[in-house]
Amino acid sequence: MNVTKEEPELVHIKEEHGDLWSNEDEEQLVVKQEADTFKVTPLDLKHDMNEPEEKMNQLLNADSPEDEELKRKKSDGSKLKRHKTNKPCEACGKWFSQKGNLIKHIRTHMGKKPYECEMCDKSFSNGSHLASHMRAHMGEKPFSCPTCAKGFSQKGNLNMHLRTHTGEKPYTCEMCGKSFSFSSGLVCHMRTHTGEKPFSCPTCAKEFSQKGSLIMHIRTHTGDKPYTCELCDKSFSNGSHLAGHMRTHTGEKPFSCRTCAKEFSQKSSLSKHMRTHTGEKPYACEMCDKSFSVGSYLARHMRKHTGEKPFSCPTCAKGFSLKGNLNMHIRTHTGEKPYHCKVCNKSFTSSSKDL
């Protein structure tokens, strides 16, 4: 990889208070701070990632002209605590001011992970990542939120959590301007623009843009319903379905129609209702010219074309394309007549009968 040489630029080294980098496991060189400035000339980056690993290792020992100058100053009795290499990674061109951090970075290219967890089979490219991982085994959560006191094993996770309180959304989509609190949210969102669906079901090969959507889908194959209502015996395959179900117990209807003010317990029910105002029918039959406002209506209609009758009577095995028709049929066996005439005392098995 080649990078065009640029004009040398002056770099001022200021005294730093405290350790900006943690490199206990790496070499720490000592040189003196100089009041003067010196020139740093970018290197030609000609490293081929396909070259032998030995050549990558040369990065750890190769000294730039600036290194030689710093070594000369060190021999003059200088005492700067950290060795500022101002050296780039020859594989990708990224610059580092500390040699130890350059070494750690090079491992990401070489695939080296010398720090192994003794409790599982995971390995890491640097010691700090292993230390963070060990907290997962020990349950240690040294970083706590000053607002709600929630604990975290990693400082980065705490920083992300804090955005839920501040409302900060630093990750912005360059294609539509939508912003997100987390980089992962932006990554998932970008797939709505690109159409990328990297997660596929091993059973039916259906593809998904988000891993969470795949996990929920897989439960349709396994029948797994890990979310259980504490007020009744119903279980659900995902948390949002349980949340919607809980509103049937509480009577809460947080979603209201802006046109007629009708309220709904689930957002999807509001979306369906809105189409009664707009007349939108986005679900079109590919076999005829009919369209429907709700996906389930299209699925029901398609059975007329296919002849499918998935609902069968447990008494006589007669099949029906609609569950409602099966329910009415079952009443012919039970004799149930739930529909009553308000004028006389006649009762009927279905509301469609003449009253």
Are 291 and 302 in contact by the 8 Å Cβ rule? The answer is: no
Q: Which residue has the tokens 């079952």?
A: 330
Per-residue pLDDT, averaged over 207-227, amounts to 92
Answer yes or no: is pLDDT of 351 > 90. Answer: no
Helices (H), 231-322: 239-250, 267-278, 295-306
Per-residue pLDDT, averaged over 264-271, amounts to 90
- Which range is least confidently modeled, 80-94, 176-190, 336-350? 80-94
* Burial (CB count within 10 angstroms: exposed 0-12, middle 13-18, buried 19+), residue 46: exposed
Q: pLDDT tens-digit profile of 88-142?
A: 888 888 888 888 888 878 877 887 788 889 888 888 887 888 888 888 888 888 8
Per-chain mean pLDDT for the chain:
78
Domain architecture of the chain: domains with CATH: 9-112 (no CATH), 281-355 (3.30.160.60)
- Maximum mean pLDDT: which of 16-20, 76-80, 140-144: 140-144
> Measuring CA to CA, how many Å separate 181 from each of 155, 194, 210, 212, 252?
16, 21, 17, 18, 28
Answer yes or no: is pLDDT of 43 > 50. Answer: no
Answer yes or no: is pLDDT of 50 > 50. Answer: no
Answer yes or no: is pLDDT of 270 > 90. Answer: yes
Share of the chain above pLDDT 70, in %: 75
Closest among 257, 276, 277 to 267, alpha carbons compared: 257
**Who contacts 9 (Cβ-Cβ below 8 Å, separation ≥6)?**
39, 40
Per-residue pLDDT, averaged over 137-161, amounts to 88
Distance of CA 179 to the CA centre of its chain: 15
User: CA dihedral in degrees (201, 205, 209, 214; nearest 10)?
Assistant: -20
Are 296 and 323 in contact by the 8 Å Cβ rule? The answer is: no
How many residues are given for the chain? 355
What pLDDT score was predicted for residue 58? Answer: 52
Closest among 87, 76, 85 to 43, alpha carbons compared: 87
CA distance 31 to 75: 8
> Measuring CA to CA, how many Å separate 286 from each of 72, 169, 289, 291, 301?
79, 42, 7, 9, 11
Its pTM stands at 0.43
Closest among 113, 81, 86 to 99, alpha carbons compared: 86
Higher-scoring residue by pLDDT: 2, 300? 300
